[in-house]
Structure 1
Amino acid sequence: MSTRNQLAAHLRRETFRRSRRTPSRLMSTLPRPYTFHIGASWAGKTEEQTKVKKIPFPADGLVGTWRDHTLSRHKMVKSDDAGEDFFYVQEMRNKSGVSFGVADGVGGWVDSGVDPSLFSQALMYHAHRYSRNAWAGEPEIDPTLDYEEREQIEGWEMTPYECLDLAYGGVLREKFVQAGSSTACLVTMNASSGVLRSANLGDSGFMIIRSSSILHRQRAQTHFFNCPKQLTKLPVNSSRKFSRACVDSPSEAETFRLKLRDGDIVVAYTDGLSDNVFSSEIVTICSLVARHGGSEDGQVQAIADRLVEYSRQCMKSKARVSPFEREAARQGMFFRGGKPDDVTVIVGLVRETL
């Protein structure tokens, strides 16, 4: 049995167990040593930059309803939608932690009449769906309970890699998504242990900032310059013209694990940020916003908004050297200034409460 089928079978078993009503007194009430404040901001390309014919999920369907709810989050950046990007932020079971992720629909399908946003939206929808029923770590069981009561504890532990694999399977089953591909970066943060875990495929990514220094930055995964690794769904009875499409597996995702500390800032992003804004500038923006004070929720939202706005400014400049321009030069190619793209940013601030 494949890994995906094993995970799906496990989820079905757990879903059946959850269908039996479990007394609330059996659920852990242990205090959480860590809390996480999350902000999200995004901006799609302008109409002049977009050449894609939009074929959105129906607004009354499961994915469409969730998409509209997700886009209703408060932010200061004015934009109609997230373009070909999408994201999710989901509290995990019994407040055991938080899961979030970003995805960037690959635009190479445009000439085939495929809307790249459908794949990224469906991928994030299924990642959210699996995350909300899972624990960020091992299910917390009161040691004073007897064996039968322990057996009734709901839920199961899920890593970002497992979530990515299950979410990809969900996209493959989505009839509305006929074809497409996307990068993905998924992160979970455990409220009991403070452990961050991640799974990343492609050139979306995240960084961890500690004491105004970059503690970790996820490296991009590419086949060659400007061609990221990507999860792909090929059309049924696909012809030869798709024979050169990149078809990567969730098993190729790079995973990471780290114990977080009070004050750490986690920034997840699509390449609309990393292609236009240098890492040092991201750190500077985080530090400047933090100096203004205010509530933690206000700070993380302000950081996310500032990063998106600054990225959009950099995209429009041909006089300013961008990270994308520098990387192109390393590959012997010429590109000047910023790279117009969709941009999505999620910012998390860690606080130790005990």
Structure 2
Amino acid sequence: MAFSSHLGAAVGQRGRTGAPVTGEKVEAAVATPYTATHALEMAAANIPNPSKAHYGGEDAWFTLSNRGKGDSFAVADGVGGWGESDVNPGEYSALFVETAKSFMKECAKIGKSQGTKEFPLAIQAALNAGHQAARIPGSTTACIAELQGDVLVCANVGDSGMIVARNGRVVQRTTPQQHFFDCPLQFGAYPEYVDATDDASDAQILRTAVEAGDVIVMASDGLWDNVYEEEVLELLPTSPKDVAGAAEAIANLAFEHSQDEWWESPYCENAIEEGLDLPWWEKLATFSFDEGRFELGKLRGGKQDDITVVVAYVKETPRGGVAGAVSGAKAMLGGGDEDGGGSAVPLGQEEEAAEEEAAPEAREWISRWRNAFTGATNGRRSG
């Protein structure tokens, strides 16, 4: 994400400051048990901006597969403007996503979509968890989704985004959220954390009834700024086994467009609509003839950026499906590794091992959330 961070605008518009979240705010809300009528087959592909490839780029993502009982995925795009202050934006997005993933793992572990008192919706609470844990310089956009039976629930802050496709057409899409052109809403922290940036309460929430065969594409703006929806639709998988190839094909097309200085990209089209076209003398200097017609030059070219694409294929589950294993994640500090395919380790054991490796900020927040949930559950049982 190449634009500058603009947390000052967020503070000015919201006009609020405050202390970080306290234990009292992390209270359990009503939980929704997962019904595994459908599941997601997921794969991710990432191509860093060539200028940032040496440190892994600034995007982060995860996929969490549990055979329909807690399937979720997310993409976060660190704001590149922090590089001007000698801050690696990828560290912020990685910690943010690591914490959100840990939150969703807890939901899968208990078999319920469980939020907090402040954010009853689990995915929105996961965004808040990531925001509260990432108390380092930086900022990020984030998009997260969870499958609840035959309903996909999505929360989006900023200009990463998602489409849901059925039979070759888009039936649902997120809307980019911006303060102004090229400055999206973003979670963030100053060098000294203040609760004054955009946050989980700003998320666009979408609920979509899905069917077997539907395909979800979630991506950072490195895709959406370079590739049109019609092009994405042409590369969608036709079966669950094709998701990895589709994710790679879509990411590769985005990279190809991003390197093309003559590509009339969605990013440039949007810039022109915002009145940011070339000045008149550059239009004259870059004129061309198209099929014998004189045309003034215009703003064009791909937008070089990190590109992350997650493709999820909706499939029906066997009757009475049970919890399975966790697969896929890129949410480790410093870039980290992406987990390989499926695992035979039971979800609870895998989560305990992962929590030991998690950053202290993530462990602290998840521990308070778990204790709050356990206390509320015990209270209901005893009451």
- TM over 0.5, shorter chain: yes
Q: 2:36 aligns with which of 8, 32, 36?
A: 32
Opposite residue 235 of structure 2, the aligned amino acid is: I
1:278 to 228, 236, 254: 228
1:180 counterpart (113, 127, 138)? 138
Distance 1:204 1:285, change over 3 A: same
Shift of 1:344: 0.3
Q: Deviations over 1:115-169 (max 9, x none)?
A: 11011000100011111011499749xxxxxxxxxxxxxxxx8521111111211
Structure 1 residue 223 displacement after superposition: 0.7
User: Which residue number in structure 1 is paired with residue 84 of structure 2?
Assistant: 111
Name the structure 2 match of 1:164: 127
**Shift of the alpha carbon at 1:237?**
8.8
**Shift of residue 171 of structure 1?**
1.1
1:231: how far off? Answer: 0.5
Contact 1:99 1:189 in 2 (8 A): yes
Written as runs of structure 1 = structure 2, the 5 A alignment for 1:55-94 is 82-91=56-65
Match of 1:227 in 2: 183
Shift of 1:195: 1.2
On the 8 A contact 1:82/1:342 being kept in 2, the answer is: no
Secondary structure at the counterpart of residue 127 of structure 2: helix
The CA deviation at 1:91 is 3.3
Secondary structure at 1:313 match in 2? helix
How much is the aligned-residue C-alpha RMSD, in angstroms? 3.0
Distance 2:164 2:193 in 1: 43
Please give the residue correspondences for 1:144-293 in structure 2 after superposition, counting only pairs within 5 Å: 159-172=122-135, 177=136, 179-190=137-148, 193-236=149-192, 247-286=197-236, 289-290=237-238
Residues 1:31 and 1:183: Cα distance change in structure 2 (over 3 Å):
closer
Q: Is the 8 A contact 1:207 1:214 kept in 2?
A: yes
Shift of 1:236: 2.3
Shift of 1:8: 5.8
Unaligned ranges ≥5, structure 1: 15-27, 51-78, 141-156, 239-245
In structure 1, what residue type is equivalent to 2:181? F
Give the structure 1 partner of residue 314 of structure 2: 350
The aligned counterpart of 1:10 is 27
TM-score (norm 2): 0.65
Aligned mates of 1:237, 1:214 — CA distance in 2:
39
Letter in 1 for 2:220: T
Alignment of 1:258-337 (within 5 A): 258-286=208-236, 289-290=237-238, 296=240, 298-334=241-277, 335-337=299-301
Preserved CA contact (<8 Å) 1:7 1:166: no
Cα offsets for 1:27-81 (capped at 9, x unmatched)? x9x98321210011001111xx34xxxxxxxxxxxxxxxxxxxxxxxxxxxx776
Q: Is the 8 A contact 2:260 2:302 kept in 1?
A: yes
Q: Is the 8 A contact 1:82 1:343 kept in 2?
A: no
Q: SS in structure 2 opposite 1:285?
A: coil
SS of corresponding position for 1:182 = strand
Q: Any stretches of 5+ residues in structure 2 without a counterpart?
A: 1-17, 114-119, 278-298, 320-383
- Equivalent residue, structure 1, for 2:352: none
CA contact (8 A) 2:216 2:313 kept: yes
Q: Does 1:41 align with 2:45?
A: yes
> In the TM superposition, what whole-angstrom CA distance separates every residue of 1:61-108 from its partner, at most 9, and x where no partner exists?
xxxxxxxxxxxxxxxxxx77641111011235x851211100000011
Q: Equivalent residue of 1:216, what SS? A: strand
What amino acid is the match of 2:267? F
Deviation digits for residues 227-277 of structure 1 (CA, Å, limit 9, x no counterpart) = 111011001299xxxxxxx92122111111111111100000000000000
The percentage of counterpart residues that share the same residue type is 29
Q: How many residues align?
A: 271
Pair 263,248 (structure 1): closer, same or farther in 2 beyond 3 Å: same
SS at match of 2:26: helix
Give the distance between the partners of 1:2 and 1:234, measured in 2 at CA: 13
